[in-house]
Amino acid sequence: MKNLNKVTIAFLLAGFIASTGCNKLDINIDPNNPLVEKANAESLIPSGVVSTAGRVGGDLSIVGGLWAQYWTQNNSSSQYISVDTYDVPNSSAFVNGPYQELYSGALADYQLAIEKAVAAKDWRYNLMATVMRAYTYQVLVDLFDKVPYTEALKVGTFLQPKFDDGYTIYKSLIQEIDAALAKDFMNTPHLATDTRIDLVFGDNGNASFEDQMENWERFANTLKLKMYLRMAYVKPAEAEAGITAMYDGDTEFLNINAGVSAYQNVPNKSNPLFEYNFRRLNTTDNLKASVTLVSWLEQNADPRAQVYFGADSPVPAINQGDFWNQSNHPEYFDAVVPVIAPTAPVWFITKAESCFMQAEFLERYYGGDNAESKYNDGVTAAFTNLGLASPTDLLAGPYKYPKNANLETKIEKIIVQKWASLFGSHALEAFFEQNRTGYPKISPVYSTEPGYQPGTLVYASRGVTGEGNFPRRLVYPDYEKSRNTNTPAEVPIYTKVWWGK
């Protein structure tokens, strides 16, 4: 996806470059790879954002969607067999590509942008780059558990950077976000055209500077909230202290979606999941609807089934990991592909996700005060984000909040609805949340067996890790193992990361 990112970056930056006028061009310098001393925050931040979106919303969303059981491998192709069977080796493109791109692309851009912004005392760009750097590191930690951090991105100083543990990285990221929020980013001198570099909230240059920065502040707060909630089961006192300090201080969280939406239905300019899975492969049929998600949606007469899969009920689907078993299941030939539009956004955090996180901490730390309202807001936002009407009937029926139930029952209700809302280019987050909470629950029987409960995850029928050993992480890339002697000893893919329940 590296080439896709660079081409897309050039496309997305075109409006900004045009608005700044024309300077004398040095034909000996590649405009897509400018000299480091010529780089500035205005070019580095959007480059990094597109790099992050390209991986999180592209190949990693394929992994997340397979392991969250939104989709499964098609019965007549083989593109994602290794992922669907939990057999992802160190040499896999799903390991090497994201790891390399997120470090050498996204994180390198954010790090240099922060240095440039601090030197110029431009605290708006410092906040933007700090938040995106933290978001990207959080993804890497959640995928690999331990990654280079304190010694990373220091070319010429640490050729073999050490690996820091995830908990230490999380604490440092929160501190860095707090430091960026403490700066006077709202009063930084700015030009109206500068808004065009903001691919997350810039709205193609039409949003006001004040609105942009308020949204970045909310994004920063919501990212902190997510990291604290990741600690809920393993560092409960620290999670509670961090969250209550924010909430009691009247901290505001995201009330709109944060992500990249400037995609077009043009090669190299479209949604990265569409580009990766549909446009660039020799068949568009590699991913098919999974019975796991479809069964839950149809049990609840949820109209998202038609939006996600473009088919009327019953949606033809394949039991997770049961590809090539068409002799027993001829209906697999009718299974449908997930609907991913070429112009679909890549969300980092959605309004619905923000509401579900707020509902969860209100239950955990505030006795459930206003939790039902936030849950209802989250379900409603998930529907309206897809162009669907508010799900009033569902909220009065199967999706009704169980306010008189015990805490874990209410947490399960919140997380399952979050799982149902993260379909598409945001699928990686659903995989993380299932690892954190255990929801949706794991089924004791396969989805073809009597007693299967719709929406519960099943062990892929062709899994290679042993029954019940679900993937919880990625292994380290082969090139990292061969070049960096500090790379931790390899553990099985089903070993939980530091915050795993």
Tell me the CATH number at 128: 1.25.40.390
Query: Which of 58-67, 152-161, 357-366, 373-382 shows the lowest per-residue confidence on average (mean pLDDT)?
Result: 152-161
**Residue closest to 352 by CA, chosen among 214, 285, 257, 492:** 257
Domain of residue 8 covers 2-266+343-444+469-483
The whole-angstrom separation of Cα 123 and Cα 180 is: 7
Return the structure tokens found at 500: 């795993």
DSSP state letters, 428-446: HHHHHHHHHH--SPBPSS-
The verdict on residue 464 lying in a domain is no
| pLDDT (average), residues 423-451 | 97
**Residue closest to 340 by CA, chosen among 281, 417, 297:** 281
CB 163 within 8 A of CB 126: no
Alpha carbons within 13 A on the beta-carbon side of 288 = 28
DSSP state letters, 329-346: -GGGGGPPPP---TT--E
SS3 category, 347: strand
The verdict on residue 463 lying in a domain is no
**Residue closest to 139 by CA, chosen among 484, 492, 409, 474:** 474
The verdict on residue 309 lying in a domain is no
SS3 category, 289: strand
The contacts of residue 225 (CB under 8 Å, 6+ apart) are: 243, 246, 253, 354, 357, 358, 361
How much is the pTM?
A: 0.93
CA terminus-to-terminus distance, the chain: 32
The verdict on residue 454 lying in a domain is no
Backbone torsion region of residue 378, taken as left when φ is above 0, otherwise alpha when ψ lies between -120 and 50, otherwise beta: alpha
The verdict on residue 280 lying in a domain is no
**Confidence band for 1, pLDDT divided at 50, 70 and 90:** very low
pLDDT reported for residue 39: 84
Return the structure tokens found at 23: 């300077």
The whole-angstrom separation of Cα 86 and Cα 65 is: 13
Q: How many domains is the chain partitioned into structurally?
A: 1
Query: If 0-12 CB within 10 Å is exposed, 13-18 middle and 19+ buried, where does residue 22 land?
Result: exposed
pLDDT reported for residue 489: 96
Query: Which of 22-36, 68-82, 275-289, 378-392 shows the lowest per-residue confidence on average (mean pLDDT)?
Result: 22-36
Query: Which of 38-52, 352-366, 377-391 shows the lowest per-residue confidence on average (mean pLDDT)?
Result: 38-52
The verdict on residue 274 lying in a domain is no
The verdict on residue 439 lying in a domain is yes
CB 75 within 8 A of CB 326: yes
Question: Could you tell me which residue, 328 or 171, shows the higher pLDDT?
Answer: 171
The contacts of residue 69 (CB under 8 Å, 6+ apart) are: 290, 292, 293, 320, 457, 458
pLDDT reported for residue 363: 98
Q: Which amino acid is at 467?
A: E
| pLDDT (average), residues 443-465 | 97
pLDDT reported for residue 302: 98
33 has pLDDT over 70: no
Q: What is the pLDDT of residues 94-132, one digit of tens each?
A: 999 999 999 999 999 999 999 999 999 999 999 999 999
The whole-angstrom separation of Cα 496 and Cα 491 is: 10
The whole-angstrom separation of Cα 297 and Cα 347 is: 22
The whole-angstrom separation of Cα 334 and Cα 327 is: 13
**Residue closest to 58 by CA, chosen among 14, 13, 11, 8:** 8
pLDDT reported for residue 327: 87
The verdict on residue 330 lying in a domain is no
pLDDT reported for residue 191: 52
Mean pLDDT value across the chain: 91
